[in-house]
Structure formats: C-alpha cells, structure tokens
A and B are shown apart, each in its own frame.
Chain A
C-alpha cells in the first residue's frame, strides 16, 4: 500500500467514524445517549477517550456522563506522571461524605516516576462478556485524590 492509498483508507475510516458518531446522536431519545442498554451493534466506536477532568465539580467528584450512556468496554487508567490516587465508585459514594475512599470499589495507584511495575500505571477495566452495551457510564463516579488530576478514560460502544 502506497502513501496515497494509505491516506485514502484513513480518510475512509474517518468518514465511517463520523457517520457512526452521527448515528449515535440520532438514536438518543432524550433519556440516554446512544443505543439502549443491552443492545449489541456491529461497529465498535470509542465514545469517550483521553484525560477525564472532574474539575468542573467543586468536590472534584463526577460521574463519567451526566446522562446514561451504555458501553461494552470501559478502561480507566491513572494518568502516567500524575501523583494522586484515583477513586472509582458507584453513586453510593454520596453516602460517604467524609471519606470517599471508603465507598470505592477500586482505588488506582499513581506511578508518577515509573519506578515500579516497569512503569505500568494502575488500570481498571470492565467489559461485557457478550459485547453488549450494558455498562452505564453515568453509574461510574471518579474522584481524583488530587483535585484537577485527570485519569485516562476509554469507553467503547457497539453501534
């Protein structure tokens, strides 16, 4: 494959991704984003990726989406180079105002200088075994121990 063919293929992939993204928005009925829970499409689309900031909330505690959005795969990783723990929890975290860590179903350690585990950052992964969109991003709350730090979040949906 020469460079022009490769470029054309990448552009084509971009068009597919754009049309898929549009389909995701169109399928919303207002009560949730994208396809309903339990659905299973044929095209894997990243609906969330990159650093996730909770800084818009005064407590630094935020769910991944405000409106339910169902995905088949979810990965949350401590941002390499950052210094704080990352707490993951359900909405039960609101019953633990004094100690958010006690409500966590997962705590991810930082690995800021890559000095342990061959530099691997702590990572939490959840996947539906049947690749159905059943994981509700609005159910997953993220609380960085250090306000303003940004775990890396990747979520895949089948549309």
Chain B
C-alpha cells in the first residue's frame, strides 16, 4: 500500500561564507520552507531569489538575530494546495557576518 507522507528534507543549517548562497545547489522541490537565524549568532539574515545582493537589494525578507532568547524571527512559505512547488535552489540566503549560518526547515511530500 502506498502512502502520502510529508517528510523533513534533512537540510539543516546552511553555511554562508561571504556571498548569497542557495539553500541547495541542486533543484529540490518542497512544500514548505522556513528560514530562521541560528540562535545565539549575531548576523542578520537576508532571504531572496538568485538576484539577492548583500546590501539587502531584492531581499524578500530580512531576519533579525535572536542572541539572547525568545521567539526567533522567521520567513516561512508553504504551498496552499499541498504540492511540492517550491524549488529551494532558487532561494538564496546571506548572513551579514561571514561564517554564520542559517537554519532551513524544509518539508516535502513523497509517496512511500
């Protein structure tokens, strides 16, 4: 019997060295993605498409750090029809402090 299951992609943290990077270098379709700052780090996080620039140009979200506790700032998008329609290779992130990282929470539907 086949079953529809929504599973975590296992992406985890994404390291940013000095320029915006895609969440994944190869195309991967998901149904929900949430991006948050790494807790305890001091970078702002910029989220955008392939045209994202470090000066916040073309950013569709700027997330503040949460160095000392409380609820983390987040950017989240989910397909309203439950489809894998979001290509995470087209979502770029940038940390204002080189070497900081970003938490990417991605879930996708699969049939098992």
A: residues with CB less than 8 A from B are 36-38, 70, 85, 89-92, 101-112, 115-117, 120-124, 126, 128-130, 132, 134-136, 139-140
Nearest CB in chain B: distance from A72 CB, A: 10
Nearest CB in chain A: distance from B80 CB, A: 6
Interface string of B34-76 (1 = CB under 8 A from A): 1010110000000000000000000000000010111110000
Starting from the known contacts A105-B12, A126-B107, 6 additional A-B residue pairs (CB-CB under 8 Å) come to: A37-B112, A91-B10, A109-B66, A116-B70, A122-B70, A139-B7
- Docked-complex contact B8 and A105, CB < 8 angstroms: yes
- Chain B, 87-107, CB within 8 A of any chain A CB: 103-107
Across the interface, which residues of A come within 8 angstroms of B79, CB to CB?
129
> Can you identify 23 A-B contacts, CB atoms within 8 angstroms?
A36-B3, A38-B4, A70-B3, A103-B13, A105-B9, A105-B10, A105-B105, A106-B103, A107-B72, A110-B69, A111-B69, A111-B71, A115-B69, A116-B71, A122-B70, A126-B6, A126-B107, A128-B82, A129-B79, A132-B4, A132-B82, A135-B6, A140-B8
B: residues with CB less than 8 A from A are 1, 3-13, 31-32, 34, 36, 38-39, 66, 68-72, 78-82, 103-107, 109, 112
Q: A37-B3, A129-B78 are in contact. Are A92 and B10 (CB under 8 A)?
A: yes
Across the interface, which residues of B come within 8 angstroms of A140, CB to CB?
8
Nearest CB in chain A: distance from B57 CB, A: 28
